[in-house]
Amino acid sequence: MNTFIAELEQANVGELFYNEPLSKHTTWKIGGPADLLILPKGKEELITIVKLLHKHGLGWTNLGRGSNMLVSDKGVRGVVIKPANGFDYLRFEGTTAIAGASYSFIKLSVLTGKQGLSGLEFAGGIPGTVGGAVYMNAGAHGSDVSRVFKYADIVLETGELVRYVRENMRFSYRHTVLHELKGFVLEAAFELEEGDRIEIASALASHKERRLRTQPLQLPCAGSVFRNPSGDFAARLIQEAELKGFQIGGAQVSELHANFIVNTGNATARDVLALMSHIQSTVEQRFGVSLVPEVLVVGER
């Protein structure tokens, strides 16, 4: 590790933070320290980082906005990579929108709408980054990333740069090939259609209003905790199990949206995991349904 760090510092790839608390980098405001957090300057620097990691036989953990992630209280051993300002861009090529990995998914939906391009209205209420949205095949309101995805430029764990089109991604509900294949999204392209700016703005406003009305955004949270079972909704099952407001430590099932767990101020990852387990066992006992987590749990247990 020391040799890797020496080579990394010499390569001048970006900002390096040692023993960085990841609670500062997740929307749940939970998580222990990363041994090393790297904020690469841009694409070439990130590729250099990955090649050095591969050379030294080291793995890494991807981190975007941390809106769909629970980091353990002990933190993450080794290297965490978080794309910084060099990945925060958007450009248009005709009806195609091309955005960097750290670009806000909500901002993308708004600015494509202002261009009169339709297809990303569903993203108006989805927090997180473009990279995270592609990784999770994020979706809402009956649509998801797979419907508008054109390609993504991805760095594989060897440092090889590849371009994956839709057929390569193996899209399914909240899942892509990136869950099995170690890689880092650099940028993604979305094929949109010309639409009416007023209608697009109206749809976005409606989604935003619903999000503000139904989601507990005033408290730290990580979006939906569990995937929706086929033909049903996790929130409905949790609410019917009378778990709204149920609390373990500082983690609480939201009174506003049953599929959200909020940090009331001092929640630990241990609290959240215990609450998730209680929700799963209660729903299983009441309805015979196994809830599958949507959030990613990372770090040392």
Q: Catalytic site residues?
A: 174, 224, 294
Residue type, 120: L
In the chain, what's the furthest Cα-to-Cα distance?
58
Selection from 106, 277, 114, 274 nearest residue 196 by Cα: 114
Torsion (CA) 134, 139, 143, 148 in degrees, nearest 10: -20
Question: Quick check: 159 and 142 in contact, CB under 8 A?
Answer: no
Q: State the Cα–Cα distance between residues 235 and 288, nearest whole angstrom.
A: 15
- Mapping DSSP to helix (H, G, I), strand (E, B) and coil, where does residue 148 land? coil
Instruction: Annotate 220-288 with DSSP letters as a single string.
Output: ---S--BPPPTTS-HHHHHHHTT-TT-EETTEEE-SS-TT-EEE-SS--HHHHHHHHHHHHHHHHHHH-
Q: State the Cα–Cα distance between residues 230 and 155, nearest whole angstrom.
A: 33
Give the DSSP letter of residue 294: -
